[in-house]
Structure 1
């Protein structure tokens, strides 16, 4: 059966909501569509801090788009892209191992989302903002759906990026925090305060 490719008639001046609606109109009924559409729509209007293809290879990026938003023609964003800090690549491998160690099965989606999360961790803002998600709740949903056992460890609602790095330190037996407990730490708000 011949399937006609539907072109997304969206210009660079379209709002994030319009991009999101267009993406969702092309979406297959698969998990993560909403979250990916939020991130992509934000990126298309210059929000967030993600590089081209969100840090994925061209093949992985195209497969991800085809799996979630078939027949959607991805418009080129005209804004410059940030690049990943290559000096942090060993850290990227450690984060990838952390995510994959909390997967029952490693699917293409989870590989891509792990790499997208890692790329987001290279940013300087709250992780959900760097990813282009629309709220911290979206990031929590992404974690619970894709990396549930890791998400379950964050039972005190620590900020996600800080939580990931704390997990890496714990794996290495590094305990950098000198406070006897989080509740008495002077930096409590930096780890657990609002991100909104």
Structure 2
């Protein structure tokens, strides 16, 4: 099922779609899928088993012990999200780690998560990180909003003016986020490739 055709009417289907999209985007970047997705080899194995049981997973023991190297910037965004989780279970924790890792990539965050548009990212954040999402009352770009929240939580000021409309960076924070899904037409292939990294002996 392609992203444009995915049935996301229910929360569970939407979560599955979001996870598949993130893993597909991480796979497209090349290299280690767990590292690009922000999870360990063991977490990837558990995620695939829980949300995509049709994919056979026979992970080597050494791969299950591989941990994802997390830099300070990723850890800060992940902690911000974790502090304001609104759902229980593994999925919120996985998403916090994955969103934080993908946020350091160069494109719009929704693009680097493999989602279809910004609206899907807003839905994902509202569902799993509702208190944080509710603070974005001016519809700031999500990546920019995360860093603004980090600065405010530390008592710092990121903005050059207290009035957004008068700021030279207004379009950086609030500009349109149009574009096409990076994984349109390929989610199943990339998801199988992501699972293959758990299956075979390629380095993670």
TM-score after normalising by structure 1: 0.72
8 Å Cα contact 1:17-1:41 kept in structure 2:
no
Q: Which residue of 2 aligns with 1:163?
A: 145
1:114 equivalenced with 2:96 (yes/no): yes
Displacement of 1:96: 1.9
Q: Which residue of 2 aligns with 1:10?
A: none
Structure 1: gaps of 5 or more residues: 1-15, 75-85
Displacement of 1:95: 1.5
What is the Cα-based RMSD across aligned positions, in Å?
Answer: 2.8
Q: Which residue of 1 aligns with 2:128?
A: 146
Q: Which residue of 2 aligns with 1:61?
A: 44
Question: Which protein has greater RCO, CA pairs closer than 8 Å, 6+ apart?
Answer: 2
1:17 equivalenced with 2:2 (yes/no): yes
After superposition, the C-alpha distances for 1:171-195 in whole angstroms (9 at most, x for unaligned) are 1111031213001112111101101
Structure 2: gaps of 5 or more residues: 58-68, 179-204
Q: Which residue of 2 aligns with 1:52?
A: 33
8 Å Cα contact 2:86-2:131 kept in structure 1:
no
Partner Cα separation in structure 2 for residue 17 and residue 148 of structure 1 = 27
TM-score after normalising by structure 2: 0.69
Displacement of 1:104: 4.2
Q: Which residue of 2 aligns with 1:188?
A: 170
Q: Which residue of 2 aligns with 1:175?
A: 157
